[in-house]
Chain A
Amino acid sequence: MQTAERAILRGSGSTRETEPGASVSCAHCGLAVPRGLMAPGQSLQFCCGACRTVYQAIHAEGLGAYYELRDRLPEDRAKSAPSAFSEMDDAVWRARAGRSREDGLFEADLLLEGLHCAACVWLVERTLTQTPGVKEGRLDFVRRRVHVVLDLQEAPLSGLCQRLARIGYVPHPVAQGGEEVRRREERAMMIRIGIAGAVAGNVMLIAFALYGGWFDGMTREFEGFFRWASLLISLPSMLYAAQPFYRGALGGLRNRMLHMDLPISLGVLVGFGSGIVNTVRGTGEIYFDSVATLVFLLLVGRWLQLRQQRRAAESSELILALAPASARRWQEGQFRVVPAASLGPGDRVEVLSGERIPSDGLVEEGRSSVDQSLLSGESKPLTVGPGDVVFGGTVNVEMRLVVRLTQGLAASRVGRLTELVEQAGQARAPIVTLADRIASVFILSILALSVLTFALWSVVDTSRAVDHVIALLIVTCPCALGLATPLAITAAIGKAARSGILVRSGAAIETLGRLRGGVVYFDKTGTLTLGRMVLVDWHGPEWVQRLAAIAEEGTLHPVGVALRKALRSEHEDAEVSEREVVPGGGLRVSIDGRQIVLGAPRFVDPGGHLAPLELRVKTRSWTDEALTPVWIAVDGEVVAGAAIGDALRPEAEGAIARLRAGGFTVRILSGDHAQVVRRIGAKLGLAPEDCLGDQSPEAKLEVIAASAEHQATIMVGDGVNDAAALARATVGIAVHGGAEAALSAADVFIDRPDLARVLKLIQGSRRTVSVIRGNVAFSLVYNLIGGGLAIAGLLNPLFAAVLMPFSSLTVVSNSFRFDFGGD
């Protein structure tokens, strides 16, 4: 037990860096430990024997990660959902995210983060059905969308979203429209598959009878009957189910392009046509069984492709909710709520503590701190006062502000940024997939060979020329290209999703899998680091911690939040009075009659001579490490100091070392101060020239665009300031807890806070690509042999009918066999 406990301590130390000294809350349930039960000298404290037993049982089963997950959740919630979803109650905004039904109910789709398993489906759906006012709540696990129907009077959308976020599933609104069209399309495809499958199965059964007759003899009467029956059954498949191929081929011809549907359509039509002719003539081969099976298999491949593309399209439909949808504008002597879109230069707006500033402007009244991490990536809030410039989309963290706007929404910095993201996505060179590259060569060769075969056999034996051409077209059916590649990609996407990696486009997997090196740019704040302020160091007596935590009660300032979270103590009541917040400085408060002053050193001790020397030395080392020092004075005496900063993710160092070992150049691209970035880079073993700081979103985009011109460039980021860069990079990877803009701009979204998954993604993609290559190689060899035999006129129709599904099954099973690199 002793060693186990020590190992546990080490294990949880990474997530518990906020714990200074001994904890007073129970290691299992988090409740306060009664003084009488405190075990002196032990770092793990329990409030009761039951908790100790459960704690030991959990660790004995090797499930200690539970505590890490549990401890991580509350902070994630705070980061991912700073807005409390208040914009969702705005009518203008709501109209984009959902629609009102005729019966007065409202329906909307939300994309959920953090779905893992069947239990999540249960939890989400149960939470929804138990929320009063929610009439319907269905979760689509793979698409990560939940469809809700609710009564807005009883259940506001914001409340529902808060509820979901509170249990760990952060919802993101999804733009409406197009859903109905796509659903109809997908259903039509499904019906085609169903019909083609039924036809293929039934025709195949009849074909068995005919093949039996071919060996053992059969009366002309029955043979004719079976042939006519086959023809009749095949009709729906040829006329209806195979339509997408005809359309594709025609569309390709119209654009003077060789579409993969062309040889497919040719094979199907020529096979079917000659089957009809031979049925009427009563002699020769009918190809109904082969053609029907071909149509069925290819439709399945097409459907998988369609689904995969659909998911890629869906990801870009997230609504960009960077700026609030409504604002309080000064008009007719008071502040009135108006839609943010109607705001223009010159308007005066009121922004309360915790709200987002609607657009760019100058502060007129009030002093506060503004969290600009949205635009700059800088983790420390900026102090602002009258006359200072503030940007739309940034969060006012401390006190009420009145802002005179200088820009409307579209011309604001965040508005232009949104535009930039869209442009960056279009500027990127389209990815040419392996199948695309092979297809045109493949199609040309088959068409040329068919003509050649026909010409050759016309000379030798005119009656058999058509037969051999059909045999060639059927045996060289591009199954590996049309079926196996989408299957392998779909299987890879499914397997990746199970480990929390959501891949938006199959092309991203192919690109990543083909990389043998390149540059990986990491954003700093929120990607390499935790992205939030935590208590890193504490200097001073422990009894002050309790006072500091009480003093920071209710604050929204990141430094205060960090202190409160880290120092959270027993929930006892304290008498708090005369609380005064000084923006950019700190706060003064009276707790149980004691005067507490807490904040920046120059605020707590303006003269700079009250603090003990030891604390001043400590503070200097903190500032050298780019940490924010906070001093605490009790009754006029500076007694303690705390260092607040953004800590590195525990797994960052290992992940980056492995990336570099894998042949990638790793660089940091951050909006934070160059000095801070270099320091973080040094910790990760990166050279100073690889750590770019002070990068605006526009500058980030330029760096990525310049890099992507001549080499493969992967961007890993999480914020709005990364969104344009993510969209422009060869492959953009957004990480957990990011803003909607980052999610919609990236090709891949990793929905767990774990950088090691970037590595997993690359490895899995490599395996996928090697499977695809194997499939293509196999089918090329198969086609060479089969095609050769057909041209030589040696291919027995029965033999062809057996070989065709055999080759398809081989590549299909091969596609599902590989391991993406699960948990």
Chain B
Amino acid sequence: MSVLFLVLPLALLVATGFVVAFIWSVRGGQLDDLDTPALRVLHDDVERTAPASGPDDPPR
């Protein structure tokens, strides 16, 4: 049972890691809009990368 003294703090450490990751994602603006990304899943990825890669070649 004394293993608990070690495991509990470890588990809390992992939990803290996730909380930090969550805070990071909020600060980065990932959770500003909670509804549109769900709709964006349906889009093709083709043109998402097109503007970033420089030359705007038409998707077809």
Contacts and interface: CB of A to CB of B under 8 A. Distances in A.
Interface stretch (A187-195, A257-265, A342-350, A463-471): A187-195
Interface in A313-361: none
Contact of B5 (A143, A195, A225): A225
Contacts of A229: 8, 12
A653 B4 CA distance: 73
Nearest to A236: B19
Given A198-B18, A198-B19, A121 B36 contact: yes
B6 to A, nearest CB: 12
Contacts of A118: 39-40, 42
Given A140-B36, A198-B18, A126 B51 contact: no
A126 B50 CA distance: 11
B1 A126 contact: no
Given A132-B56, A202-B15, A141 B1 contact: no
A126 B47 contact: yes
A771 to B, nearest CB: 22
Contacts of A190: 26, 31
Contact of B12 (A129, A132, A143, A202): A202
A534 interface: no
Contacts of B43: 121-122, 125
Given A118-B40, A141-B36, 17 more contacts: A121-B40, A122-B40, A122-B42, A125-B40, A125-B43, A129-B51, A141-B39, A142-B34, A142-B36, A183-B29, A183-B32, A190-B26, A191-B27, A195-B19, A198-B22, A225-B4, A225-B8
B4 A194 contact: no
Contacts of B42: 118, 122
A121 B12 CA distance: 40
16 contacts: A118-B39, A118-B40, A121-B43, A122-B43, A125-B40, A139-B36, A140-B35, A140-B36, A141-B36, A142-B33, A142-B36, A190-B31, A191-B23, A194-B19, A222-B1, A233-B12
Nearest to B22: A194
A130 B22 CA distance: 33
B12 A135 contact: no
Contact of A140 (B5, B26, B33, B56): B33
A42 to B, nearest CB: 38
A132 B56 CA distance: 9
Interface in A111-135: 117-118, 121-122, 125-126, 129-130, 132, 135
A722 to B, nearest CB: 31
Nearest to B21: A194
Main secondary structure of the interface of A (DSSP, over half): helix
Contact of B47 (A129, A140, A202): A129
Report the interface size class on chain A.
Answer: 20 to 34
A187 B36 contact: no
Nearest to A135: B51
A139 B19 CA distance: 28
Given A186-B32, A194-B19, A129 B50 contact: yes
A222 B4 contact: yes
Listed from nearest, the 8 A-B pairs whose CB atoms lie closest are A118-B39, A141-B36, A142-B35, A194-B22, A140-B33, A121-B39, A190-B26, A198-B19
A187 B26 contact: yes
Interface string B5-25: 100100010010011001100
Contacts of B23: 191, 194
A235 to B, nearest CB: 12
A229 B4 CA distance: 12
A187 B39 contact: no
Contacts of A198: 15, 18-19, 22
Contacts of A141: 33, 35-36, 39
A306 B23 CA distance: 19
Contacts of B22: 191, 194, 198
A413 to B, nearest CB: 40
Interface in A294-326: none
B32 A187 contact: yes
Contacts of A143: 33
A698 B56 CA distance: 53
A142 B47 CA distance: 23
Contacts of B18: 198
A504 B34 CA distance: 19
Nearest to A136: B51
Nearest to B28: A187
B4 to A, nearest CB: 7
Interface in A147-186: 183, 186
Contacts of B58: 130
B40 to A, nearest CB: 6
Contacts of B27: 187, 191
A191 B26 contact: yes
Nearest to B51: A129
A122 B31 CA distance: 20
Nearest to B34: A142
